[in-house]
Structure 1
Amino acid sequence: MIATALPDDEPTATSVTESIVTAVADAADEDTLDLPPLWDVVDPEALDALFAPMKTGASRAGRVEFDYYGYRVRVDAGESTTVSLLGGE
C-alpha cells in the first residue's frame, strides 16, 4: 500500500485529485501526462469539493474508493486527508 498525506496547513497547495494522479503515476513509474484522464472514472471537481474544508474551516470526515489505472484508490479524510493505493498492476 502506498499512502500520501495532504498538508493540512496549505489545503490549496495540493488537491486530492492532484495527489491521486501523482501517487498513481509514481507507483506505475509513468509520467502523469501518460495516464488516462481521472474524469474517466470519477468527477475530479466533485472529489475535491467532497474533501475540501467546510465553510467553518473544520475538516470533513469520510472515505471514497474507486479503481484507476489498475489501482484501488482510497481517500480517507478526518484529522488529515490521506490518499492510499491498494494493489496494483
Structure 2
Amino acid sequence: MTPPVKNRPSHTTRASRISEAVVEALAAKRDADPLSVTPLYNAIDPEALDMLFAPTLDSSVRPGGTVRFQLTDCEVKVTVEDGDAHVEITHCTEQT
C-alpha cells in the first residue's frame, strides 16, 4: 500500500494510490469529474508512480522524495515526507 495521500492546499481525498490522488486533485482544480480530465498516462506511467513510493518487498517504508511532471498545462508535484504523500497541482492556465 502506498503512503496516505494528502493534497495541499485544499483538496482532500480517500484515494489509496498516489496516481488516483493526482487525478482527483487535477479534477478538483478543474472543478470537473475525474473521468473527464486528461488521462494521467499521457504524462507518466501511473503504476510506476505508485510503485515509486510503495513499501519495499519486505514492507519497509521507502524514504521520502519528490516527483514533478507536466500534465497538459498543469505542473504536478508529488512529495512524500514522513510516510505522508502530498499532491500539489499548480500553474494551470487552460481547461482541458
TM-score in terms of structure 2 length: 0.74
Counterpart for residue 4 of structure 2: none
Q: Give structure 2 stretches of 5+ with no counterpart.
A: 1-6
**In the alignment, is the contact (CA less than 8 A) between 2:54 and 2:61 conserved in 1?**
no
Q: Which moved more, 1:42-51 or 1:63-72?
A: 63-72
**Alignment of structure 1 residues 32-71 onto 2, 5 Å:** 32-54=34-56, 55-71=58-74
Q: How many percent identity over aligned positions? A: 31
User: 1:50-75 CA distances to partner (integer Å, 9 max, x unpaired)?
Assistant: 01122343243111001113210001
Where do 4+ consecutive residues of structure 1 move more than 3 Å?
4-7
What SS class does the counterpart of residue 55 from structure 2 fall into?
A: coil
- Counterpart CA distance in 2 for 1:30 and 1:75 is 20
Alignment root-mean-square deviation, CA: 2.1
Query: What amino acid is the match of 2:24?
Result: T
Does 2:77 correspond to 1:74? yes
Relative to structure 1, the CA distance from residue 83 to residue 57 in structure 2 (aligned partners, 3 Å threshold; closer, same or farther) is same
- Counterpart CA distance in 2 for 1:86 and 1:71 is 6
Higher relative contact order (CA 8 A, sep 6+): 1
Shift of 1:88: 1.5
- Counterpart CA distance in 2 for 1:75 and 1:60 is 14
TM-score in terms of structure 1 length: 0.79
Aligned length: 83
**In the alignment, is the contact (CA less than 8 A) between 2:75 and 2:90 conserved in 1?**
yes
Q: Give structure 1 stretches of 5+ with no counterpart.
A: 8-12
Shift of 1:5: 7.3
